[in-house]
C-alpha cells in the first residue's frame, strides 16, 4: 500500500484539519506513517497567522521537498493557511510542490483524487494523546480586529450544526477521550451567525446531557461575547472546567479602539469581576499584544498596572506582527522593536511573580490531575494537568513515583511549586 506522512503546523484547529486529511487517505487504502523518509506522499499542513509562522512554513516545505531526492517521496502536497494565502507566489518559489491546496479546497480535492464514499466529516486520524482531544465548533471569523488576517484566509464565521458537533464528541468518547476541548477562532460567538442553531451555552448543555466526559474545556473566548448565562453555566456545572481563556489584547482604550476590540478597559474589568464573583475558583488565561501602533509609554504604563491589578492565572505576551491585508499593516506610530521586546519582558516578569505566588498557594492542597504521560525528571516521573491548565500552553503537574497510567485521573497532593509548574505525590 502507498504510504503517507503529515507534517502539521500551527494551532489545534489546524491539527484537526490535518487529522481529517490523514483519515481520508487511510480510508482510501493508504498507510499512515511517521517516517518522512519512507513516505510516498508527504502532506504539509501550514499556518500563516504571523511572520514567524510563515517563515516556519517555508522552512518545513523546503525540508519536505528534499525527501523527493533523498527519500521515497514522489508527491508533495501543501495545504493550510500558508497555501491559501500565498499559493500563487509560492508556486514559483518552491516548484517541487506538486499541489497547493487552499483551506476551502482540500475536501473537494481529496474527493476527486481518492474517489469512493467519504467517511463522516468528523472522523479523524487522532495524532494527539487520546485522553485529550479538540473539537472545532466553527470555521472562520467575522470580527474586524485590525491586526488579524484570519478572516481573509478562513472567511466569515460559520458555526457547525449542533448535531454534527455532538456526533463528533460521541465518536471521540467511544475512543476513550477524557477531556473534550471546544475550539474556534471565537468559541463564544458560536451560534450568533446561524439562526435556530442555539448559543454556546445551549451547545454545552447538550454536550453535558449526551456525553460523559469528566472534563469539558473551552478555548478562545472573546471578552465581548462572554455573557452572564455562560458564566452561570461555568458556576453550576462541575464537569465544565473553571477555565476562561479570554484574550483581551490590551488595556488602554485608545489602543483597543485602534485594534477594533471591544469591550474597552472598563468593560474588560467588569467581565473579569463577574467571572470571579460567580466562579471564585476560576483560572483566567489571557493574551496581550505589545507594540501595536499608538502604544506609547503612557499606554504601556496603563497596561502594566492592569496586569498587576488583574492578576491573571496565565498570560501570553506577543509582539505586534504587521500582516499584509490587515488594517493595522499600514498604521504608523509603532514603537521600536527593542522597546517592544523590553516591554514584553517587563510584562512577563510581572506575570512570573504573580504565577509563582498563586501556585505557591496550592502547596498542601489535593488536586485532581489528568495524567498525560512520562516526565524526564526521575524524582517526578509522571506529568499531568489540573482542570485549571490547558494542554501545551499552560504549566504542568509533575508527579512522584506511584501507580499512574496515561489518561487516568489521580488525586495529587501538591508538595512544591515553581514559577509555572506544580510538583506532587499521589494523595
pLDDT digits (tens, 9 = 90+) for 63-73: 999 999 898 99
What are phi and psi for residue 247, nearest 5 degrees? Answer: -65, 125
Q: For residues 61 and 406, give the distance between their C-alpha atoms in angstroms, rounded to a whole number.
A: 33
pLDDT for the residue 97: 95
Map out the domains of the chain with their CATH numbers: 3-114 (3.40.50.12160), 132-360 (3.80.30.20), 366-426 (2.40.50.140)
pLDDT for the residue 295: 98
pLDDT for the residue 114: 85
Residue 325: closest CA among 14, 85, 9, 83: 85
pLDDT for the residue 196: 85
Using DSSP, state whether 250 is helix, strand or coil.
Answer: coil
Whether the Cβ atoms of residue 46 and residue 58 lie closer than 8 Å to each other:
no
Beta bridge partners of 412: 367, 426
pLDDT for the residue 127: 82
CA max distance for the chain: 63
What are the respective helix, strand and coil percentages of the chain, to the nearest 5?
40, 20, 40
Whether the Cβ atoms of residue 395 and residue 384 lie closer than 8 Å to each other:
no
pLDDT for the residue 93: 87
Report, as ranges of residue numbers, the positions in the chain whose pLDDT lies below 50.
none
Q: Three-state secondary structure along 40-83?
A: CEEEEEECCCCHHHHHHHHHHHHHHHHHHHHCCCCEEEEEEHHH
Q: For residues 75 and 97, give the distance between their C-alpha atoms in angstroms, rounded to a whole number.
A: 8
Which residue bears the cell 466526559? 213
- For the chain, the first-to-last Cα distance in angstroms comes to 49
Find the DSSP H helices in 222-280: 228-236, 253-259, 265-278
pLDDT for the residue 273: 98
pLDDT for the residue 123: 86
Q: Three-state secondary structure along 352-412?
A: HHHHHHHHHCCCCCEEEEEEEEECCCCCCCEEEECCCCCCCCCCCEEECCCCCCCCCEEEE
Amino acid at each position: 500500500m502507498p504510504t503517507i506522512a503529515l507534517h502539521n503546523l500551527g494551532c489545534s484547529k489546524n491539527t484537526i484539519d490535518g487529522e481529517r486529511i490523514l483519515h481520508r487517505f487511510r480510508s482510501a487504502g493508504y498507510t499512515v506513517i511517521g517516517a518522512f523518509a519512507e513516505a510516498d506522499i508527504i502532506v504539509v499542513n501550514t499556518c500563516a497567522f504571523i511572520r514567524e509562522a510563515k517563515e516556519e512554513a517555508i522552512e518545513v516545505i523546503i525540508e519536505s521537498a528534499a525527501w523527493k531526492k533523498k527519500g521515497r517521496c514522489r508527491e508533495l502536497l501543501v495545504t493550510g493557511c500558508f497555501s491559501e494565502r500565498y499559493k500563487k507566489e509560492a508556486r514559483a518559489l518552491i516548484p517541487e510542490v506538486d499541489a497547493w491546496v487552499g483551506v476551502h479546497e482540500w475536501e473537494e480535492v481529496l474527493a476527486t483524487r481518492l474517489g469512493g464514499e467519504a467517511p463522516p466529516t468528523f472522523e479523524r486520524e487522532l495524532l494527539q494523546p487520546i485522553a485529550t482531544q479538540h473539537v472545532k465548533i466553527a470555521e472562520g471569523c467575522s470580527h474586524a480586529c485590525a491586526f488579524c488576517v484570519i478572516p481573509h484566509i478562513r472567511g466569515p464565521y460559520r458555526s457547525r450544526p449542533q448535531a454534527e458537533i455532538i456526533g463528533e464528541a460521541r465518536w471521540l468518547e467511544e475512543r476513550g477521550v477524557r477531556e473534550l476541548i471546544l475550539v474556534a477562532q471565537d468559541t463564544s460567538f458560536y451560534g450568533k451567525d446561524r439562526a435556530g442553531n442555539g448559543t454556546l451555552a445551549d451547545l454545552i448543555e447538550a454536550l453535558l446531557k449526551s456525553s460523559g466526559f469528566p472534563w469539558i474545556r473551552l478555548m478562545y473566548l472573546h471578552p465581548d461575547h462572554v455573557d452572564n448565562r455562560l458564566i452561570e453555566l461555568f458556576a453550576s456545572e462541575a464537569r465544565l472546567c473553571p477555565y476562561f481563556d479570554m484574550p483581551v489584547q490590551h488595556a488602554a482604550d485608545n489602543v483597543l479602539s485602534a485594534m477594533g476590540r471591544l469591550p474597552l478597559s472598563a468593560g474588560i474589568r467588569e467581565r473579569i469581576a463577574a467571572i470571579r464573583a460567580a466562579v471564585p475558583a476560576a483560572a483566567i488565561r489571557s493574551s496581550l499584544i505589545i507594540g501595536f501602533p499608538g502604544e506609547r509609554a503612557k499606554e504601556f504604563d496603563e497596561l502594566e498596572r492592569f496586569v498587576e491589578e488583574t492578576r491573571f492565572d496565565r498570560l501570553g505576551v506577543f509582539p505586534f506582527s504587521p500582516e499584509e491585508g490587515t488594517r493595522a499593516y499600514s498604521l504608523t506610530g509603532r514603537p521600536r522593536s527593542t522597546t517592544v521586546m523590553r516591554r514584553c519582558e517587563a510584562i512577563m516578569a510581572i506575570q512570573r511573580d504573580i504565577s509563582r505566588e498563586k501556585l505557591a498557594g496550592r502547596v498542601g492542597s489535593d488536586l485532581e490531575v489528568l495524567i498525560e504521560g512520562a516526565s524526564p525528571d526521575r524524582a517526578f516521573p509522571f506529568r499531568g494537568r489540573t482542570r485549571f491548565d490547558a494542554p501545551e500552553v499552560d504549566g504542568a503537574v509533575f508527579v512522584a513515583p506511584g501507580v499512574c497510567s496515561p489518561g487516568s485521573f489521580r488525586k495529587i497532593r501538591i508538595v512544591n511549586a515553581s514559577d509555572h509548574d506544580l510538583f506532587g505525590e499521589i494523595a
